[in-house]
Amino acid sequence: MNAPPKTDRGILVFAIWAVLGFLGLGFMLEGMALNSYLVALVGVALILASFVAHIIVNAVFDQGFTPGETALGIGAFGVLAIVFISGWLVGGLSMPDFYAGLTLFGALSVGFLAYLMTRYGLRGAFSHFHRKSASLEDPK
């Protein structure tokens, strides 16, 4: 019995993030523990590879990110950003840690914008963020 495509996609996405994503997180944390920018950079590369592989799976199954995936991604990005900024403000980051964090957030931000532009085009990407809700429109 064949599994529906949505299930296949979900399993593939989970496997990608379980292997590449957590391996990347491990390298990132190990690089920060060792104050090694190169080890942390391997982690950043693996996390970006997870993101790219997720996009490829979406393209193969002709789907976009699910609302749950979007919420998890934006939430994780926000929590990591708060932790990174807090660590910087407290002074607990060494320079390699600081550069590794900047590299991660910069690469993810550029990747996110590149995804939006390639998926929806410049105008379509802007339109996804600039929509009037039904309550703000003029009643006629």
Domain boundaries of the chain, sorted by first residue: 5-129
Sign of CA dihedral 74, 24, 108, 32: positive
Is a pLDDT exceeding 70 seen at residue 138? no
- Average confidence score pLDDT of the chain: 85
pLDDT at 20: 95
What share of the chain in percent tops pLDDT 70?
Answer: 83
pLDDT-derived band at 46 (thresholds 50, 70, 90) equals very high
Whether the CB-CB separation of 14 and 35 falls below 8 Å is answered with: no
Provide the b/e sequence for 100-112 (b: ≥16 CB within 10 Å): bbebbbebbeeee
Indicate if the pLDDT at residue 125 is higher than 70: no
Kindly report, residue by residue over 78-121, the tens digit of the pLDDT. 998 999 899 889 988 899 999 999 999 999 888 888 887 787 77
pTM, full prediction: 0.78
Which residue, among 77, 44, 63, has the nearest Cα to 4 in the 3D structure? 63
Q: Give the whole-angstrom CA distance, residue 76 versus residue 105.
A: 11
Confidence of residue 59 (pLDDT cuts 50, 70, 90): confident
What per-residue confidence (pLDDT) applies to 129? 60
Q: Token pair for residue 44?
A: 């950043």
